[in-house]
Amino acid sequence: MSKIASPAMILIFRGTHQVLSAEKRLKGGGVPFRLIPVPRSLTSDCGLAIRIPLDQRDRAREILSGARLLPVSVHIPRPTGEYEPVTL
């Protein structure tokens, strides 16, 4: 896992299995990422999320859609501490 500079996106998946599968695909595709706990203000059945650099959005979408592993929600952290929902 690589260190990520801001700005970033938070990818939320249905469960741990999907997170780990997405992690494997992103790693194989050369997308830098970090596994993080799901922020408390965001809901998920899984306690893990994936954080990727915003500039890797298109590459991540290509990899994850090809693997049929699109996240259930995607968010951009804001300086206010809130999360803006966006599409991957």
Per-residue pLDDT at 6: 64
Per-residue pLDDT at 5: 47
- Reduce the DSSP state of residue 7 to 3 states and report it: coil
Count of residues making up the chain: 88
Query: pTM of the full predicted structure?
Result: 0.88
What is the distance of C-alpha 26 from the center of its chain?
Answer: 10
Per-residue pLDDT at 41: 85
Per-residue pLDDT at 46: 72
Domain membership of residue 43 (yes or no) is yes
Per-residue pLDDT at 84: 94
What is the distance of C-alpha 22 from the center of its chain?
Answer: 9
Residues 6+ apart with CB under 8 A from 24: none
Parent domain of 12? 8-86
Total tally of structural domains belonging to the chain: 1
- Angle, CA of 62, 75 and 65, to the nearest 5°: 20
Domain membership of residue 71 (yes or no) is yes
Domain membership of residue 3 (yes or no) is no
Domain membership of residue 35 (yes or no) is yes
Spell out, as residue ranges, where the chain has pLDDT lower than 70.
Answer: 1-6, 44-45
